[in-house]
A = this chain, B = another copy of it.
Amino acid sequence: MASSLPPAVIALQTELSRMPGVGKKSALRMAMHLLKSQRDDVARLARAVIDVKDKVKICSTCGFISDTDPCHICNDRKRPGKVVCVVEQPTDVIALEKGGVFPGKYHVLGGVLAPLEGVGPEDINISGLVARLEPEGIEEIIVATNPTPEGEQTAYYLSRILQPKGINVTRIARGIPVGADLENADDLTLTRALEGRVKLD
């Protein structure tokens, strides 16, 4: 008797709560929402879930997502390929592309090194990056992982294995975000901002 949620609600709650950032409570709220939605809307969501798996391809070269493999960025012959920007996730590529700030090609690691969580070099797409170096004539790797301890560690690891291969490994600058207040920046950001100071002329 006690709890008494219908099994189909519990099943949906379980499936939804597998997703990142979705707890049991918000999964139940979503399930209740779907229960009260029009059948068409529910069917459209179910279709979209299947479609994303069936129609979207992960680029076998760079790891980005696209309708084609290789993706449209790797396929773009007008983009210079000597400088490759390494990011953690496909969404990072989107952020950089939205700004149109980087004209080269990308490599998506699909994560960062996190030894404490058991994520080692073989768990993220580093071998794929190494395999691209020679055939693509890559000269510089810009490591644009997030400025977290794991992101820094991954950058350091990449530098250690790629520099001996004659690759110029650089890291995106850390500093005060444009438009932000100095007084709200944390110590590490301030330290990095000072270290990374540039000469004015």
Assembly of this chain: how many copies? Answer: 2
Interface check A184, CB cutoff 8 A: no
Known interface pairs A9-B65, A49-B45; A91-B3 also in contact (CB < 8 Å): no
Of residues 62 to 101 in A, which have CB atoms within 8 Å of B's CB atoms?
65-67, 72-73, 89-91, 94, 97-98, 100
Chain A interface residue number, banded = 35 or more
Known interface pairs A30-B22, A33-B19, A67-B6; A12-B49 also in contact (CB < 8 Å): yes
Task: Tell me whether A45 and B89 are in contact (CB under 8 A).
Answer: no
Chain B residues with Cβ under 8 A from A50's Cβ? 42-43, 46
Of residues 8 to 36 in A, which have CB atoms within 8 Å of B's CB atoms?
8-9, 11-12, 14-16, 18-22, 26, 28-36
A173 to chain B, nearest CB (A): 23
Which one of A53-61, A147-155, A175-183, A185-193 is at the interface?
Answer: A53-61
Known interface pairs A4-B97, A66-B6; A53-B30 also in contact (CB < 8 Å): no
- Bound form: Cα–Cα A32–B55 in Å: 13
- 23 CB contacts below 8 A, A to B, read A1-B97, A2-B100, A3-B98, A4-B66, A4-B73, A4-B97, A8-B56, A11-B52, A15-B45, A16-B45, A18-B45, A19-B33, A29-B91, A32-B65, A32-B90, A34-B49, A34-B53, A35-B56, A35-B58, A42-B49, A43-B50, A46-B50, A49-B49
Known interface pairs A26-B21, A55-B6, A67-B7; A48-B15 also in contact (CB < 8 Å): yes
A67 to chain B, nearest CB (A): 5
Nearest chain B residue, comparing its CB with the CB of A42: B53
Say which residue of B26, B39, B53 sits within 8 Å of A39 (CB atoms).
B53
Task: Tell me whether B90 and A52 are in contact (CB under 8 A).
Answer: no
